[in-house]
Amino acid sequence: MTPSSPGAPLQVAEILRLREDFPILQTQVNGHPLVYLDSGATSQRPLVVLDAEREFATTLNSAVHRGAHTLAAEATEAFEDARAAVARFVGADDDEIVWTSNATEAINLVAYAFSNASVGRGGAAAERFRLGAGDEIVTTEMEHHANLIPWQELAAHTGATLRVIPLDDDGALRLDENQITERTKLVAVTHVSNVLGVINPVEQLIAAAHGVGALVLLDACQSAPHLPLDVRALDVDFAVLSGHKMLGPTGIGALYGRRDLLEAMPPFLTGGSMITTVTITEAEYLPPPQRFEAGTQRVSQAVALAAAVRYLHDVGMPRIAAHEAALGQRLVDGLTAIDGVRVLGAGIDLPRVGLASFDIPGIHSHDAGQFLDDRGIAVRVGHHCAQPLHRRLGVTASTRASTYLYSTEAEVDGFLDGVSATIEFFGVH
Ligand SMILES: Cc1ncc(COP(=O)(O)O)c(C=O)c1O
C-alpha cells in the first residue's frame, strides 16, 4: 500500500483494495453482505494482524523477560519491538508505554496508583499523586463509564471530590474557567465522545489543568484509532488506548505515561515480573514500564497490536481521519434529513469522527438494531457505557453507527436507507 498525500481522503478504489485485507468483510449476515458499522465498539482485524499473532504462536511462543533460552530472548525482543511500535504511533518514548489488558485497566492503573500514593505508598516521590479532602478530580458528563467509575472510586477511597464538567442541551462540554482551580489535581477527559463522535477541544482543558499544576489523563480510545495522535504535542500526562478498537486483538491495551510520572508512581498490580528484590516482608520494584506489568503478559496480542499500528501508519492516519470525517458528516447529515430521527449532538459545532448516535422516538434502539441486523447491518444499541450522557440528553438508549478506514459511502447510504425503512416498518411517523 503506497501512502498518498497527507490528509487526502482515501479513494474508493483504495478502500475496496484494503477491504480485501479483512476477511470478515467478505462474509454475509442474514443473507446480506455484512455492513459493519460497529467499529466504535470493536474494529475488524486485517490479515497482517491475524498472521502476526499466529506467527508469534508458531515460531516464538515463550515467556518474556524471564527465560535464558533463545526463544525467550526472541520473544522478549518481539514484545519490546511491539512496545516501540505503539510508542512511535502516539509520539511517545518506548518506556513510556505500559501494556494493559484494555483501556479500562489502564485507567484503573492510574486511579489505583493515586489511591496507593494517598495512603503513603511510593514515599516522597509519589507525593504529587496523594489526594485527600479538599482535592478535586475533574471529569465530564460525557465520559464512557471506564473514565468515570474509577474516579468515583478514587474519590471514595481518598476523600477527594469528583467534579464533573456538565454538558449543554446539545451535548457539548460546557466549559468555564471556574471548573479547574488550585484544588484540581487530575483532569480525566475523553478526546472523542463514543456517543456523539465529536472531537473535544481538549487543548483548552490541558492548558488550564497544567496552569494549576494538575495532571491530565486523556481517554484516547475513540481518537487514536481514527486520528493522528501525538501525546507529546498534545502535552497530556497520561493517555489510554484500546487495542481492539484500532485493528488489534482483544485483551491488549496500553497506558502512555510521561516518564517522570511513571518513575514516581506506585504500582497498581503487584506480583511476579515487576520486582528487583523480594524478602518475606517487602519488595523493591523495577523501573517503569515493567513496574506496572505484573504477571505473565499478553505477548502475542502485543505483537499483533504492533502489526495493527504499522498497518494504520502505512495507510496514513491523516488520510484515515479525512475519510472518516467525511463519512461522519454523511452520517449526521443523512440521519438529520430523515423525518423522526434525532441525532444526539447534531448541533455541536466541532469536528467529528465517523460515528453518530440517534434516537427514533417510539422505536426502542434494540428494535431498530434488530431491524437493521436483518439487512446485514451491524450497529450498536443501548447506552454505549455512557448512561450519564444519555440521561442528560433525555434518552435511556440510542442506536450508534460507527465507521473505520474500511467503511464506504455506499455502506453509509445503505444504512440510512435501513433507518428510513425501520421508521416505515414500525409506522411511527
Ligand atoms: C471512550 C471509551 N473509553 C473507554 C472504553 C473502554 O475500552 P476497553 O473496553 O478497551 O477497556 C471505550 C470502549 O468502548 C470507549 O469507547
pLDDT tens digits for 308-361? 999 999 999 999 999 999 999 999 999 999 999 999 999 999 999 999 999 999
Structure confidence at residue 2 (pLDDT): 40
Please list the residues that pair with 28 across neighbouring strands.
33
Q: What is the pLDDT of residue 323?
A: 97
CATH class label, 51-313: alpha beta
Helix, strand, coil % (nearest 5) of the chain? 40, 15, 40
CA of 425 to the centre of ligand 1 (A): 33
What separation in Å is there between the alpha carbon of 40 and the centre of ligand 1? 9
Strand partners, 223: none
> How many C-beta neighbours within 10 Å does residue 65 have?
18
Pocket test for ligand 1, best of 38, 104, 298 (most atoms within 8 A of CB): 104
* Residue closest by Cα to atom 16 of ligand 1: 194
pLDDT of the chain along its 429 residues, tens only? Answer: 344 456 888 999 999 999 999 999 999 999 999 999 999 999 999 999 999 999 999 999 998 987 789 999 999 999 999 999 999 999 999 999 999 999 999 999 999 999 999 999 999 999 999 999 999 999 999 999 999 999 999 999 999 999 999 999 999 999 999 999 999 999 999 999 999 999 999 999 999 999 999 999 999 999 999 999 999 999 999 999 999 999 999 999 999 999 999 999 999 999 999 999 999 999 999 999 999 999 999 999 999 999 999 999 999 999 999 999 999 999 999 999 999 999 999 999 999 999 999 999 999 999 999 999 999 999 999 999 999 999 999 999 999 999 999 999 999 999 999 999 999 999 987
Question: Ligand 1 pocket check: which of 38, 242, 353 to mutate, most ligand atoms within 8 Å of Cβ?
Answer: 242
Q: In angstroms, what is the span from residue 222 Cα to ligand 1's centroid? A: 8
Residue with CA nearest ligand 1 atom 7: 103
Q: Whose CA is nearest to atom 15 of ligand 1?
A: 221
Question: d(Cα 50, Cα 407) in Å, to the nearest integer?
Answer: 20
Q: Where are the beta strands (DSSP E) in 166-271?
A: 184-190, 215-219, 238-242, 253-257
Residue with CA closest to ligand 1 atom 12:
221
The phi and psi torsions of 217 (rounded to 5 degrees) equal -110, 125
Please give the number of the atom of ligand 1 that sits closest to the Cα of 106. Answer: 11
Q: How far is the CA of 221 from the centre of ligand 1 (A)?
A: 6
The CATH number assigned to the domain with range 12-42+316-426 reads 3.90.1150.10
Cβ proximity of 257 and 96 under 8 Å: yes
- Break the chain into its structural domains and give their ranges: 12-42+316-426, 51-313
Euclidean distance between CA atoms 412 and 53, whole angstroms: 31
CA of 194 to the centre of ligand 1 (A): 8
Residues comprising the chain, all counted = 429
Backbone φ and ψ of 343, nearest 5°: -85, 125
Give the model's pLDDT for residue 49. Answer: 98
385 is catalytic: yes
Pick from 360, 400, 396, 398: nearest CA to 379: 400
User: Which residue of the set 326, 385, 395, 421 is catalytic?
Assistant: 385
Residue 193 alpha carbon, nearest atom of ligand 1: 1
Ligand 1 atom showing the smallest separation from residue 41 Cα: 14
Q: How far apart, in whole angstroms, are the C-alpha atoms of residue 403 and residue 398?
A: 16
Encode pLDDT of 169-197 as tens digits: 999 999 999 999 999 999 999 999 999 99
Q: Which residues line ligand 1 (CB under 6 A)?
A: 102-104, 144, 146-147, 190, 194, 219, 221-222, 242, 253, 385
Residue 144 Cα, ligand 1 centroid: separation in angstroms? 7
User: Which atom of ligand 1 lies at the shortest distance from residue 384's CA?
Assistant: 14
Cβ-in-10-Å burial (0-12, 13-18, 19+) of 124 comes to: exposed
